[in-house]
Amino acid sequence: MSDYGTWRSSISDDDWALYAAAGYGSRTQFGQRPCLLVIDVTNGFLGPRGKPAAELAADYPTACGQAGWDAVPAIADLVAAFREIERPIIYTAGISDAPRAHAGRWMDKHPRTLEQREGAHDVVDELRPRADDFVLRKSKPSAFFGTPLLPLLIDLGVDTIVTTGCTTSGCVRAAVVDSFSYGFKNFIAEEAVFDRSHAAHVANLFDIDQKYGDVVDNRTLLASLQGITPADRDV
């Protein structure tokens, strides 16, 4: 199993004390109209099972490896819980058609971004979306950029976003910051987000938790969902 859930002990006592003294890190009250956001948990971002990202880089340039597969069961638990209470589940994934037109500045920072195998932008089978889920295609880090996510959330009456997926330092962070900026309550499932770099994962979880949302474990999130009933979905 991944040790990502122990990220808090990787942050120095001095850093915890500094942020606490400055007043950061207050907790957020969970809302009554949550949605689940599953960011880029695709074949390309995971790669084949059982291998770390370093071993996959030659053939799968965006893969996070085993860290991603370790997060899949936690994501699946949240998917099942949201389906039980009939709250919306929104998936994001890359764009497979006309990829060059969408690459933009990725060609400067990650020229291999277009080296994707067939099916790389498909959500992994273990988390396959249902017909009543939403799947948004995006070409930039934030799930809000160039997608109908914001009007969809407004239309659904969402007040709280539970974020899962990858990468913690990239698309997860970008979506959480935009969500915070638009006024949504943010909860990040610590066992259900992942990155190809443990250092980047830890640093960004700490920063997100102190400024933009609450990083909490699945048990806490599942308990919060117990107070939500299917009737609450109606605006």
Please name the residues in contact with 103: beta carbons below 8 A apart, sequence gap of 6 or more.
Answer: 113, 114, 139
Q: Is the peptide bond prior to 167 cis by the omega test (within 30 degrees of 0)? A: yes
Which string of DSSP letters, residue by residue, matches 126-146?
Answer: GGPPPTTSEEEE-SSSSTTTT
Tokens in use for 196? Answer: 């190809």
| 157 three-state secondary structure | coil
Tokens in use for 92? Answer: 């994001």
Q: Residue 205, class by beta-carbon neighbours within 10 Å (0-12 exposed, 13-18 middle, 19+ buried)? A: buried
Contact 205, 164 (CB under 8 A): no
**Annotated catalytic residue within 35, 64, 166, 171:** 171
35 noted as active-site residue? no
| 89 three-state secondary structure | strand
Q: Known catalytic residues?
A: 171
